[in-house]
Structure 1
């Protein structure tokens, strides 16, 4: 670690008593910290001399009669450092990550209280992170946060890609609008969900992506959300100032703190090139290094599952329709009449195991295997599942032995129905049951209102539950894929057994009425900034009525677009989500899903414009092979890329899976073509992408 000098100057203005400048390693970003005349801390940010964040206040409002941590501060100390390291993730988009930043830590003493607060700034080449720290001290021990007052003052009425602020769900389609239009669009943007609680007509969720009129791409988010409430943003749309808005608990409190402690990092990414936002590893770098000593058991996974047939309504999670209500330990399912539609039956699971083995997949997920699905939702039911008792038609031991004989791993499913206390009550026994039966990964779910009653999905107490589940799973060497949990903030660096999250509007909504065709061109700029998403792509039959005549939904995507998602929607956990019989109908297209990697040594973002298109090339770890994906929004376009990322002097065979000329997500989604060509690092390609379409390319070295 080396030290460097900051430019520190005395500002003789009425607005600030002292200003300190911090520059990024490449000198393109400049952050200015200042204290106002009343001792209010604040900051501003510039990129290439363009204003990104205008002067914005910092601080926390405390509950009750306690004087808040908002003003009356004086600077007690400043410390500056620079940090530069290379670290290797257990899995990821690249084999190694550079963590390079300049840091300013400002120690503030509050007059009249003798309390101390540190604001720590880290300035990377791609953006700024800052957090509040509360050292061990006599006059600030236990305190309750009424609200965090971190501001982000915008320098214009930017175009934003946003979802409504909500304490319980991120499962919304994105709205694209000016900041000034958010208020008028929030009601329309807040579509129905099974558990939701909006808080403001100008509230939005992070990661928030914006584009300024002068071409700056700006992203607001948070990193390392530990023992704290999730941050939303509330917009003062008269002055274009965002302010942090934390998720409250059942009492309305927003954080119980005990010093020494700290907040999560608040992050601002900025660039004049959208590709740099996608490529940034700043969120990961603001998290602690891996705390799992032996990570050899953490493996990227490509899987199929007994899932889509339930989502579409072809089959059910529940075993019987005979009982109006069930109670675990009381209801005798052995005497119940099966409904004939239960998906998680032994024969069906073995069929999926056979398909996985025949096509080179790693694992099979099964949902609806355990007792309790008959009345699991909507009843505020505490003891809803025990996570160890299978239905009569699901042979746990027999399936384990059959899967093992085929070289296939099984993925357990734990739906909690939001009953976090019940899950914690059963967690040790459930994880041990998994290990006893050969399950190394779990998909957990938190559908519905949270129990204890009145708590929200994103407040401090429930955030701590999600973290507890990850850390407890690590004790059992179990990988976690959490659905409906808090959106990720880079925690997967510290606990890489968190190999996936949902926490956004995934493919399942295509069977619930559809998502906008540009949805997948926005998610990598927003939800995926904090970590990979289990988006469950690979749907080949877009007309859901052909699976279930009672479901008239239609996917707003072409088949080629579905293939491209395996590259553009990065995840070490990738599902081929459609029914096996639909893959058998399109074996040539299915070949790309079989071939595509799930772990990468390098990634190149070739084209990017939020809401319009993304093109990514990734190098499969341990090989010289590349895979390229392009997803397109509402308007057809010709994508132009070159292959200069390929190794010089090498020849490759490219197999291009593309939209046909007459393809369209509404009228002709399954129209695709496949062609082969030889390429080198000098090759350039122009490729048509249909509305809601795209293309996927496998680039295999010719030996």
Structure 2
């Protein structure tokens, strides 16, 4: 609760504005030496006066008793080029205020850094090397975000172990009453409060301000969640604890992650923001030539739907050191077999896709889930029906890569014990990308997916992979905070409810109109779109789930759900029935020179245009919620004086995500930058457009 006596004597005050002067940050040291900040946009309050600091496990807190020892300001302006991304060039332009604080009673020092961009604010804590503060344990972070009203929020239940919930749209005052229903079951979950919320948190004020709260550069620190004080509309920092309940173990000199506030009166500006990336350091790798965006198919969806299995046999109670798989009866449903994988490789080669993901290729899948076993997988031993050398040879002959899969079963110690051998096995057999998984409760017991210990492990896996020139797509890992700028082999993450949930009951029809405003703020998502057969029963008669999307919108997601790693997630046999629609997946780029947000409103619709890397081709995607809509866009982003062939993949006349999802229509027309297009989007639908210079 924000009591503070903020109307009392102001001991010190500093202000800094964004380069365009529209955003202003005020720092005030309140009575009692309490550091606070506030933030405005065009004179409108975004964050009212809010506390700063840390609460420590032992000794006086770093949250009061401070005096200002000095301040400094600077301006910074650079343009840098990402290894892969939504645009070719990113401008990093901000004004910075640095406040040096001393705590007279303890002789300790803390430094606050505030960076104000034209699209928002980043601030962090620095703890210099000092005799009075060497090692310390964080009990909680005292950071607050005091809001100016009871905003509309797009939120997930606060949880130490999963983000795989459906987003709830409500006023903040309604969170408490909706929390129980929102906290649906998951393989590993630890909800922490009836008013706990995750970041990125998307908000909209009654007077039309769009506000996004998150963090950047999460390194050697615990993940930030938010505890809502719903009486005062204050969001208090809440860090993920370790097995002992501690929130962080730090040694000076050290830095916290950045706390971020992106704000605009235009929804599309939130999607265009590069603030989180800009608050991360440049890449650590001198050579990035081995990091390549990927479009792939995979032996995956057929297991998710229940048509096939990851496991080779139906035996259980497996002990790897005593089991000979040649002596057990195969279940006849194992998908990762040599002949079947070759079919996927053939399809990838025929349609100019880069790679094939294969899950369930390695021993151990019979008896791993939920048992808390420390040693399940060794990450190098294939099942008897999976011929590693032959598939390496066959894929190479077709110009296709195979993507490795490492399901750790959340036994982090076991993964680290095998990591070097597993990565070397990949090098030896032609794999240059890995999808890792962390399903289930973490081992060692008591640790959480988003604690400091696990965050350090995830980075260790990425940097060790880089030594082997391997790209990483981490599932069930921590949500991204822009670290892909620094470590660009982190080419994908799950960290949200992806397409797989469509086979487990379904995502809401508005799901993909929200994720770009929330989960994707910190980095790309391996959402795995491209499902054409939306009735799961077509693959598994016992599964009555369906994909809450039309076929046309599945195409649009390749544009609206940005990722340099894009999967054509359905089965080749289904794509072969709709090759006219699949042409868009074959054509669409996965790396971009430019991006324009044409329309956007969180929870309702998003329309985005992107220009392919190194080409003149543009692609447009539009997704809408369960209500449907008519979209009208200008093609003014196209080059002047050029005519383009537009191929429009749209919902059919009577399309509906539930009643008639496979109804689509394709038409072609000539367009220029003066063209305006009007296109109907069915409920749960959308459209996709390719634009090629004639």
TM class, shorter-chain normalised? over 0.9
Which of the numbers 15, 23, 27 marks the counterpart of 1:21?
15
CA distance in 2, matches of 1:472, 1:187: 40
SS of 1:370 mapped into structure 2? coil
Aligned to 2:37: 43
RMSD: 0.9
Q: CA deviation at 1:324?
A: 2.2
Within 5 A, what are the aligned runs for 1:210-609? 210-321=203-314, 323-609=315-601
1:149-228 aligned at under 5 Å gives the runs: 149-228=142-221
**Post-superposition offset of 1:182:** 0.2
Between the aligned partners of 1:215 and 1:674, the Cα distance in structure 2 is 37
Offset from partner CA, 1:209-253 (integer Å, 9 cap, x none):
000000000000000000000000000000000011000000000
SS at match of 1:147: strand
Cα distance in 2 for residues equivalent to 1:283 and 1:604: 18
The match for 1:114 among 73, 98, 107 is: 107
For residues 81 and 635 of structure 2, the distance between their equivalents in structure 1, rounded to whole angstroms, comes to: 26
Q: What is aligned with 2:652?
A: 660
Q: Measure the CA separation in 2 of the matches of 1:240 and 1:637.
A: 33
Residue 52 of structure 2 corresponds to 58
Task: State the TM-score, normalized to the length of structure 2.
Answer: 0.99
Q: Give distance in 1, aligned partners of 2:687 and 2:197.
A: 32
1:636 corresponds to: 628
**Deviation readout 1:350-383 (Å, 9 max, x if unpaired):** 0000000001100000000000000011110001
Distance 1:330 1:241 in 2: 57
Q: 1:15: how far off?
A: 4.3
Q: Distance in 1 between matches of 2:183 and 2:169?
A: 14
TM-score by length of 1: 0.98
In 2, distance between residues paired with 1:13 and 1:634?
Answer: 47
The runs of 5 or more residues in structure 2 that have no matched partner are 1-5
1:662 shift after superposition: 1.0
Local SS of the residue matching 2:349 = helix
The corresponding residue for 1:142 is 135
Displacement of 1:14 after TM fit?
A: 2.0
Tell me the secondary structure at the aligned position of residue 385 of structure 1: coil
**How far did residue 329 of structure 1 move?**
2.4
Q: CA deviation at 1:550?
A: 1.1
What is the CA–CA distance in structure 1 between the aligned matches of 2:580 and 2:166, rounded to whole Å? 32
The whole-number CA distance in structure 2 between the counterparts of 1:384 and 1:465 is 19
Give the 3 Å change call, closer, same or farther, for CA 264–155 of structure 1 in structure 2.
Answer: same
- Give the Cα–Cα distance (whole angstroms) in 2 for the partners of residues 505 and 98 of structure 1: 31
- What are the Cα deviations for residues 179-227 of structure 1, in whole angstroms up to 9, with x where unaligned? 0000000000011101000000000000000000000000000000000
Q: Aligned pairs, how many?
A: 690
Kindly provide the CA deviation profile for residues 429-466 of structure 1, in whole angstroms up to 9, marking residues without a partner as x: 00000000000000000000000001000000011000
Name the structure 1 match of 2:24.
30
Structure 1 unaligned residues grouped into runs of 5+:
1-11
